[in-house]
Homo-oligomer: A and B are copies of this chain.
Amino acid sequence: MNNKPKLRIGLIGTGFMGKTHVFGFASAPKVFDLPYEIELHTVADISEEAARKAAHDFGFAHATTDWRDLVNSPEIDVIDITAPNALHKEMALAAIAAGKHVYCEKPLAPLASDAEDMAIAAEAAGVKTQVGFNYLCNPMLKLAKTMIAEGELGEIRGYRGLHCEDYMADASSPFSFRHDPAGGGALADIGSHALATAEYLLGPITEVLGDCITMIPTRPDAQGGTRAVQVDDVGRAFVRFANGAQGSIEGNWIATGRKMQHDFEVYGTKGALSFSQERFNELHFYSTEDAVGRRGFRRIEAGPDHDPYVRFCVAPGHQLGFNDLKAIEVAGYLEAIAGLRAEPFGFRDGLRIQRLVETIQASSKDRCWKSVPS
């Protein structure tokens, strides 16, 4: 009864993000009129038990402990990588070499040079890619982008962007791969979201002045000792945008009490926007065109007027959840695979974020402004 072509997914990794991807694959076809029927073909995990359990729980037909099985299978169209960051490059390059489309969780790779290799390979092979910056899929961010693009705020002058959480605030939480230089630190891990949102809304950042700080110098290791932390707990930058605006960015994983402070404010000549991911179904809008004595930040609640909210619910105010953002991401990616639109956020975009992160880190180290390579 369903005559759509199948798109067969091979998922690598079954953790937090793997599960989130599966939620996206499950709900996207119900919410959107996708160009493909999604088939959950095989899931890979290093542990056989985890792979089997994931196959069972998530509805994959097959399980494997060797991710290369996925890459080599002629029955799989998309390789979905939610494995640790350090493995992204090898997996993605292998998948690209096998002609697969690649969906990769963020960050694309620990180093921009690796990310660049991945982007170039994908482009050369003509496969479609997606990096999981799902906060960008929020209808309220699309609304913000539209309002900015259509001049509702006038000329943009200023920006302030944050992504602060507290999951590393406890100094006794043990050293992990995230504290390894390859893990990148707070700026790379979550400041990257703030950077992605900033460029999504205002376009390219051209110059940065960074300040990356390690506040918790050592953390317990698994052997009962301590290990020196080399990555930043807080990473900030002053920035300049190509459109003439200026602003600041902060990534911070020791912000006690903050669970999802992915916030931004945009100031233009005619208006302003204020947003917090803590209440991500709202966008606050100030317009100088409102009548005198009647001006103020207006709390716009997400509703059917804000694409693609209406696909989830025909009535306003009902609210999307985090996993719904993943469904939007999946839908956009499938449309890109079908050639119906450009990649929403492909490897080239993921590379861009790594470039920004590395430029800020270099600026912090050298204690001076740096131009961002284009």
A residues contacting B by CB (< 8 A) are 1-2, 16, 19-20, 22-23, 26-27, 29-31, 33, 55-59, 61, 143, 152-153, 157-158, 160, 165, 167, 169, 171, 209, 211, 213, 215, 234, 236, 238, 246, 248, 250, 252, 254-260, 265, 267-272, 277-280, 282, 284-286, 288, 290, 292-301, 303, 305-306, 312-324, 367-369
Task: Give the CA-CA distance A29 to B22 in the complex, in Å.
Answer: 11
Contact present for B234 and A211 (CB under 8 Å): no
Q: Pick the contact of A248 from B248, B284, B303 — CB < 8 Å?
A: B248
A140 to chain B, nearest CB (A): 11
* Residues of B with C-beta under 8 A to A288: 256-257
Given the complex, which residues of B lie within 8 Å of A272, measured CB to CB? 255-258
- Given A167-B315, A320-B322, also A278-B250 (CB < 8 A): no
Contact A257 B295 (CB under 8 A): yes
Closest to A2 in B: B56
**A224, B165: Cα distance in complex, Å:** 51
User: Are B30 and A316 touching (Cβ within 8 A)?
Assistant: no
Chain B residues with CB under 8 Å of A314's CB are 16
Asked if residues A313 and B317 are in contact (CB atoms below 8 Å), the reply is: no
Q: A269-B169, A270-B256 in contact; A313/B303 too (CB < 8 A)? A: no
- Whether A290 contacts B298 by the Cβ 8 Å rule is yes
**What are 12 pairs between A and B in contact, CB < 8 Å?**
A1-B56, A26-B27, A165-B317, A248-B250, A255-B265, A256-B268, A256-B270, A257-B286, A257-B288, A257-B295, A257-B296, A260-B316
Q: B305–A292 contact, CB under 8 A?
A: yes
Q: 4 shortest A-B CB distances, which residue pairs? A: A259-B317, A321-B321, A257-B286, A260-B317
Which single residue of chain B is at the shortest CB-CB distance from A321? B321
A30→B299 CA distance, assembly (Å): 34
Known: A30-B57, A286-B257. A315 touches B279 (CB 8 A): no
Partner of A30, one of B58, B260, B368: B58
Residue on B with the closest CB to A260? B317
Cβ A293 vs Cβ B255 within 8 A: no
Chain B positions within 8 Å of A19 at CB level: 30
